[in-house]
């Protein structure tokens, strides 16, 4: 079986500043630099962001490798902590401007479209220490000053801007599950941070619309969508799945595309006395400044069942899990290294949802990928990682994406996480996702089998599905890689 995509399709990959550049010549630490400085034991194998994949020093060679694996578009992010000198005034750092200028030019020289994101979880640590980071609306305004400098210095060449990557992860990782800085457990703060992030995105879009001079320029947001599937058809499980969808997906989807938060969610947050502080003027900005296009990060679905605790229990601190519980569906297909379910069919459901409920806005898969640990297990005698599992993973997701496109969904591209194995927050270098491997002791980078394969896919716009994989046409769900 062959899947043919159109000739304009984006074949790319995504990374971020904090995860690839290394700390070289940065005036400010971001919160992860600081977290590593103070608690290195919380990072896998004690590996921090100091070198990452050395992109600051080796971006020319790295971009040449990206070209070699056929990427026609690449997302990275500008680090606020690198570009800005005086955080209150928003003045720029000369070396920061030079560096990002050269990176953008190098992408363009290689015919790679740079997709530029303004925040991939990172914020200068001083802004957290002084103002509580995203808990503060003053920080929202400082972020807009930083965005203004990005548009001013790079807007002549960058066409595709992104305001945030995965804002819900800043909320849930930082304020609920304690997997990201500041590692708090505070439902009320989580809710306010969610609102402030949406406000920051809308204010940034407002500024972009006022200042952008590039006729093709556009701005979007990247959301990690986790379609919620109820454990059973019972009413309680279905209600739980609806809430999980409201909280994890619709909060930012509705606000970013429709300019309004979902009413059902507002009612619940109000009833529970945790609703964010807002003003009429802010809601107007959110309403009037919706995105031009959407990036969807998809890794795994969310299997949901009724909550374990009752939402009437006043003794319990507010958490979205008052309304649902995760469900470990028996027999589901897992990537055991990352402990994430593999369920490619969800991409079709996402495509359908965007088409039917979000005005068929133009969108692309901005991250998808398979994190595998100890990939040296798969080295062949020539030193190439034989990552057939990744090739199959990508192909299966593209199979379902293609089905969504055939039904009319307005998807224009696919980006894998990530071009070159990069550092990943507290998981550091545990799981590798790249088309290109990185030996973190020597920084020697080597193309994996999937990289050579992707080059052919990108050049031909076509995927060949071997007959033995036919099973995924039947929505089969038990196979393990």
- Contact footprint for ligand BG6 (CB under 6 A): 16, 19, 165-166, 224, 297, 338, 367, 371, 417, 424, 427, 431
Residue 417 C-beta: closest distance to ligand BG6, Å: 5
How far is C-alpha 381 from the geometric centre of its chain's CA atoms?
Answer: 35
Min dist. Cβ of residue 170 to ligand BG6 (A): 11
Q: For residue 36, give the DSSP letter.
A: H
Catalytic residue among 106, 135, 341, 367: 367
Catalytic residue from among 21, 106, 135, 166:
166
Give the shortest CB-394-to-ligand BG6 separation in angstroms.
Answer: 15
* Alpha helices, H only, 299-428: 346-357, 388-406
Give the nearest distance from C-beta 425 to ligand BG6 in angstroms: 6
Length of the chain in terms of residues written: 481
- Residue 406 designated active-site: no
Whether omega for the bond prior to residue 345 falls within 30 degrees of 0, making it cis, is no
Q: What stretches of 107-257 adopt beta strand conformation (E)?
A: 113-117, 160-165, 218-224, 228-230
Instruction: Say if residues 152 and 104 touch (Cβ distance below 8 Å).
Output: no
Beta carbon nearer to ligand BG6, 72 or 424: 424
Q: Which helix (H) or strand (E) holds 254?
A: helix 251-257
- Minimum separation from the CB atom of position 245 to ligand BG6 (A): 18
Instruction: Give the 3-state secondary structure percentages of the chain, helix then strand then coil, rounded to 5.
Output: 45, 20, 35
Provide, rounded to whole angstroms, the least separation between the CB of residue 278 and ligand BG6: 27
> What is the rounded distance in angstroms from the CA atom of residue 110 to the CA atom of residue 112?
5
Residues 425, 335: Cα–Cα separation, whole Å = 19
The answer to whether 239 and 231 are in contact (CB under 8 A) is no
Provide, rounded to whole angstroms, the least separation between the CB of residue 379 and ligand BG6: 21
Considering the complex, state which of residue 282 and residue 367 has its C-beta at the smaller distance from ligand BG6: 367
Residue 393's nearest CA partner among 326, 294, 458, 463 is 463
The structure tokens listed for 135 are 């808990």
Tokens encoding 204: 């940034």
Q: Where are the alpha helices (DSSP H) in 155-186?
A: 167-175
How near is the Cβ of 313 to ligand BG6 at its closest, in Å?
A: 32
Closest to ligand BG6 by CB, 67 vs 338, is 338
Crossing angle for the helix pair 55-68 and 94-109, to the nearest 10 degrees: 10
Alpha-carbon distance values, 337 to 156, 207, 340, 375, 419 (Å): 42, 42, 8, 11, 19
Cβ closest to ligand BG6, residue 54 vs residue 165: 165
* Token pair in block for residue 39: 């608690």
Residue 224 dihedral angles phi and psi, to the nearest 5°: -90, 115
305/424 with CB nearer ligand BG6? 424
Q: Tell me the C-alpha distance between 81 and 123, whole Å.
A: 7
Tell me if residue 102 is catalytic.
no
Residue 285 vs 334, nearer CB to ligand BG6: 334
Residues 78 and 86 sit within 8 Å (Cβ to Cβ) = no
For ligand BG6, the closer of residues 50 and 459 by Cβ is 50
The nearer residue to ligand BG6, 224 or 446, going by C-beta atoms, is: 224
Tokens of 153: 């210095």
Ranked by CB distance to ligand BG6, the top (closest) residue is 424
C-alpha span between 260 and 264 (Å, rounded): 12
Catalytically active residues are 166, 367
């Amino acid at each position: 079986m062959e899947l043919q995509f159109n000739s304009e399709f984006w074949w790319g990959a995504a990374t971020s500043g904090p995860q690839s550049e290394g700390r070289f010549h940065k005036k400010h630490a971001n919160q992860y630099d600081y977290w590593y400085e103070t608690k290195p034991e919380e990072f896998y194998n004690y590996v921090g962001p100091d070198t990452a994949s050395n992109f600051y020093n080796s971006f020319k060679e790295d971009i040449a490798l990206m070209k070699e694996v056929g990427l026609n578009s690449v997302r990275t992010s500008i680090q606020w902590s690198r570009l800005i000198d005086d955080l209150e005034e928003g003045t720029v750092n000369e070396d920061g401007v030079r560096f990002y200028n050269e990176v953008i030019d190098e992408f363009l020289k290689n015919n790679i479209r740079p997709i530029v994101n303004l925040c991939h979880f990172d914020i200068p640590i001083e802004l957290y220490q002084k103002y509580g980071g995203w808990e503060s609306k003053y920080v929202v305004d400082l972020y807009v000053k930083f965005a203004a400098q990005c548009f001013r210095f790079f807007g002549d060449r960058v066409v595709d801007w992104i305001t945030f990557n995965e804002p819900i992860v800043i909320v849930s990782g930082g304020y609920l599950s304690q997997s990201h800085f500041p590692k708090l457990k505070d439902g009320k703060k989580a809710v306010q941070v969610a609102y402030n992030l949406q406000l920051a995105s809308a204010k940034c879009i407002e500024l972009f619309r006022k200042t952008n001079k590039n006729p093709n320029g556009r701005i979007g947001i990247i959301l990690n969508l986790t379609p919620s599937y109820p454990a059973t058809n019972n009413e309680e499980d279905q209600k739980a799945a609806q809430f999980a969808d409201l909280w994890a997906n619709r909060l930012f989807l509705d606000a970013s595309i429709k300019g309004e938060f979902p009413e059902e969610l507002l009612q619940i947050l109000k009833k529970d006395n945790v609703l964010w502080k807002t003003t009429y003027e802010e809601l107007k900005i959110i309403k009037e400044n919706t995105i031009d296009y959407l990036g969807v990060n998809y890794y795994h679905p969310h299997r949901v069942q009724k909550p374990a605790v009752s939402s009437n229990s006043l003794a319990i601190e507010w958490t979205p899990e008052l309304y649902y519980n995760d469900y470990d569906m028996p027999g589901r297909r897992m990537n055991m290294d990352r402990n994430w379910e593999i369920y490619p069919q969800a991409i079709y459901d996402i495509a359908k949802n965007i088409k039917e409920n979000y005005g068929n806005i133009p969108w692309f898969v901005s991250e998808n990928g398979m994190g595998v640990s100890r990939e040296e297990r798969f080295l062949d005698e020539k030193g190439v990682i034989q990552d057939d599992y990744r090739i199959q993973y990508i192909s299966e997701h593209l199979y379902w994406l293609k089905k969504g496109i055939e039904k009319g969904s307005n998807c224009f591209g696919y980006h894998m996480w990530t071009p070159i194995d990069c550092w990943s927050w507290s998981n550091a270098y545990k799981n590798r996702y790249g088309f290109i491997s990185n030996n973190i002791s020597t920084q020697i980078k080597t193309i994996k089998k999937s990289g050579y394969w992707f080059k052919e896919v990108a050049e031909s716009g076509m995927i060949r599905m071997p007959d033995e994989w036919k099973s995924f046409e039947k929505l089969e769900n038990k196979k393990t890689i």
